[in-house]
Amino acid sequence: HQRTELQTDGREDEDERAAIYPSLVLIVDDSKIGREVAREYLSGLVNRIDTAEDGNEALEKWKTRSYDLVIMD
């Protein structure tokens, strides 16, 4: 099965991505490497990524922002 890709000016792709993927994600992991790996993995899919080292820091950030997704280990 061969996939055909259409050439566009990029705006359609950005609009489609924004409709499918979350705009603001919070990654919570006590491991710096875990946070970095998750950030790298999501960087092409998410507009903004925040990180927190533990649950307390995550709760403080969650109180001040409206996250679309929170990922915890």
- The predicted-structure confidence for 54-65, as pLDDT tens digits, reads as follows 999 999 999 999
Q: What is the pLDDT of residues 25-56, one digit of tens each?
A: 999 999 999 999 999 999 888 989 999 999 99
CB 58 within 8 A of CB 72: yes
29 CB neighbour count, 10 Å cutoff? 20
Residue 69 pLDDT: 93
Burial of 34 (0-12, 13-18, 19+ CB in 10 A): middle
Residue 6 pLDDT: 42
Residue 7 pLDDT: 47
Which tokens in the block code for residue 68?
């679309």
Query: With the CA atoms of 27, 30, 36 and 39 taken in that order, what torsion angle do they form, in degrees rounded to the nearest 10?
Result: -10
Residue 17 pLDDT: 60
Which residue's structure tokens are 């995550």? 58
